[in-house]
Amino acid sequence: MIVALSVVASSLAATAQMQYRNPIIAGYHPDPSICRVGNDYYLVNSSFQYFPGVPIYHSRDLVNWELIGNVLNRESQLPLKGASSWLGIYAPTIRYNDGIFYMITTNVGNGGNFMVTATDPRGPWSEPIWLSQQGIDPSLYFEQGKCYMVSNPDNTIMLCQIDPTTGRQLTTSKPLWQGTGGRYPEGPHIYKKDGWYYLLISEGGTELAHRLTMARSRSIEGPYEACPDNPLLTHCSLAGQNSQIQGTGHGDLTDTPDGRWWMVLLAYRNYGGSYHHIGRETFLAPVEWKKGEWPVVNGGQPIDTLMTVANVPTPVNYIPQQAKRHIHTTFDKPLGHEWVYIQNPNMACYNSIDGLLRLTASAATLRDNLKPTFVGRRQESANFTATTFVDFFESMTGDEAGLTVYQINDGHADFCLSPDAMGSRLMLKVHLKGLDTVKRSTELPLCRCHLRVRSDGTMYYFEYSTDGKKFRLLDKLDCSLLSTEVVGGFTGAMIGMYATTTPRNAVTGPSYADFSYFDYQED
């Protein structure tokens, strides 16, 4: 899957001003970490309760990215029992050393800190190597045959040396820095440049007060002195307060083959006021880092959705990209890397039969957070249309199947069919913080229908068709109701297909829904 990004290429020399669009990876892609191997860049994101976990992207230019897999694709690597969008896989770090890729992260609620390794970033990746030093957001630094780990137990950035093969801790944990006073000092990364060890962290929490700060030392063990110009980047400022982009933080630095520096970081975009529902996304900012000095991110200014820079990494001539992204999924082959499940799925509930995706209904509902029958993909644009056709003929009263806009188990909108004495009932059901509402419903003669969800960034529109040609609006929902500010969580909106049954019906016999396609188009 190629992430669609608009890049306006200059016809002038490489030193001319060029433009690219943020975010570089849209939709729920928080906590980016990056490494470069030659001319290739690899980037990973946190994944929380979704399986498979830790999506990994590849790029040659830092702007256009391709999803090449998921690092954690086996239950033995990724146990997710009880995980919600508050738990599961927190911020990963990816590093490369002596022919081996390392991904280190935290499984909150199911084991703590661990790392996996691979010789090919597309996998396979190893089984987990569990680590002693806890705290979240662990990172690795390699130097002269030694492997160092940093994380943040007790709100303090701590350093230890580990064996990268076994994970055994070789030195006691040593405190390095507690930041500048912002809450939740986390996301540490160490870099060495011009004889200095630089420690980049995030502070303030991953909300409005999020910021990136830095300290440095002549010794990796410290003492570290804070940058006099901290924070390096924040939108919680006079300059950034009116931007659509907020929550800037959790960054990682990379250099280019020609010696320039760039930062990837997370931020979110507000819609309809101070609300964000698509999730925390991956952004890119230029960095000026003169010899012996502190790095300066984007000239000390806030970042924007359209960035103008002196130049971007080669190749110079990008393909101008304003085209709409259109992905049509059929079910006659395995699902692509973008498709994920909630927690560790019961794969017996997911089958491809004669080109249809058959979902066997589970007694676990979307609000139960007990690995319901659900498969979905990230909403990656504020303006999109998602359409499917569902046949729920093999079902009983009380069962339901259809499309869901899912933010968290405490916040989702379900556009579903449910059989009844008249044939079927088409409903828009909304679950918000323990409140269940059937917002609108209508009767259909059969339990099969084309379902469509579209959005303009402020509203979701739920439409249906019995012939696949003429669609009618059932109802609409304000996007802010599914925002992080309203329902919580660390993730973003997912568009998925699901099927549920009642505990009583589950005893009687399985019911299932057949989906014939899934069409996703950014408008």
List Cβ neighbours of 15 (8 Å cut-off, separation of 6 or more): 310, 311
- Among 186, 203, 399, 410, the active-site one is 186
**Is residue 466 exposed (0-12), middle (13-18) or buried (19+ Cβ within 10 Å)?**
middle
Cα(16)–Cα(8) distance, integer angstroms? 12
Going by the DSSP 8-state scheme, the letter that residue 349 receives in this structure is: G
Residue 506 phi, psi dihedral angles, 5° rounding: -65, -30
**Separation between Cα atoms, residue 47 and residue 83, nearest integer Å:** 11
How would you classify residue 107: left for phi > 0, otherwise alpha for psi between -120 and 50, otherwise beta? beta
- Report how far residue 125's alpha carbon sits from residue 110's, in angstroms, rounded to the nearest whole number: 19
For residues 496 and 275, give the distance between their C-alpha atoms in angstroms, rounded to a whole number.
Answer: 22
- Check if 399 is active-site: no
**Residue 259 CA neighbour count, 13 Å, CB half:** 5
In the block, residue with structure tokens 């630094």 = 141
* Beta-carbon-side half-sphere exposure of residue 260 (alpha carbons within 13 Å): 18
DSSP H or E stretch at residue 506: helix 503-508
- Going by DSSP bridges, is the β-strand pair 40-44/53-59 parallel, antiparallel, or unpaired? antiparallel
Annotated active-site residue 391? The verdict is no
Structure token digits, residue 365: 């509902």
Separation CA 367–CA 245 (nearest Å):
30
Rounded CA separation 253/215 (Å): 14
What the block records as the tokens of 493 is 């909106």
Question: Which positions are annotated as active-site residues?
Answer: 31, 186
